[in-house]
Homo-oligomer: A and B are copies of this chain.
Amino acid sequence: MFREPSEHILSMRTTDRPLIFVTNDDGVQAAGIAALMRLASEFGDVVVVAPNESYSGMSHSITMQRPLFVSCVSSEPGLDVYSCTGTPVDCVKIGFDEILPDRAPDLVLSGINHGSNANVSVIYSGTMGAATEAAMYGIPSIGFSLTDHSPAADFTAAVHYARGIIEHVLTLPAEQRTGLCLNVNIPDIPLSEIKGIKVCRQTLGCWREEFVHRTDPQNRDYYWMSGRFYNAEPQAEDSDEWALRHGYVAIVPVQTDLTDYRRIDPLRKLFNPLS
């Protein structure tokens, strides 16, 4: 069953439509990915590989301790949907290296996430983990998030802006597309109230946790994580949090070199005696 749709994909090579890969971290059943795969189908042939359940907060994690199972949920001309028992990054890797070994997608879309991935949340986000993984393969990627955690969130405005952003990214020259990764957050307000798009930088700050501490029926202490974001720069008009709070769609370009270049020279002086 698993191999057949792969053969179907190969047959797509004869078409001129872009191949668009879709994933998320809320799971293949989420309303957000349903909206995104419908939107993606307007632009090209679509292959979806998404987690079989919620992998929210899974960041860039990969599954090394257990095997992955993949099943074909549905297959129709131009739209194949797979479910995978792994993380969002696993879905990208198994999608690129196993399901589509002979054709790289033209674009990867991740989301639409139920909840914001602005500020440092980008680091914890499985949605953005998948998008950055795709960019590491050189494939342009866009992660979309709506600042509403509700499973029944209204994706109308998110889809409207996502459509425009996808159109623009698909028209970019190849050298600008390669490795492009966008973190797009859409405010949870009616479409008519959104003021437009702002290209931003990631807001600095951190999450602090307030664990809910309870005792289970076996008298063991347990802790549920529950936190809030502390914005270190609430006045920064070029930050994604500011844009969202002021009614804009926030786009942050993302990269994967974590080197803190400003610290290299001072550290070279510090460690010179050990060298």
Contact = CB atoms under 8 A, between A and B. Distances in A.
Interface of A: 2, 54, 56-65, 67-70, 87, 89-90, 93-94, 97-98, 120, 122-124, 126, 129, 132, 136-137, 161, 164-165, 168, 172, 176, 180-183, 196-199, 201-202, 204, 206-211, 213-214, 216, 220-225, 227, 251-261, 263-264, 266-268, 270-271, 274-275
Contact of A120 (B123, B208, B223, B256): B256
Contact of A199 (B97, B221, B251, B264): B264
A90 B136 CA distance: 26
A173 B174 CA distance: 47
Given A60-B61, A204-B257, 7 more contacts: A59-B60, A62-B225, A69-B221, A161-B274, A196-B274, A201-B257, A258-B258
27 contacts: A54-B65, A56-B64, A58-B59, A62-B124, A67-B214, A68-B211, A90-B225, A93-B225, A93-B227, A97-B210, A97-B211, A98-B211, A98-B223, A123-B258, A132-B258, A164-B274, A168-B270, A197-B275, A199-B267, A199-B268, A201-B264, A202-B259, A253-B264, A253-B267, A254-B259, A256-B258, A258-B258
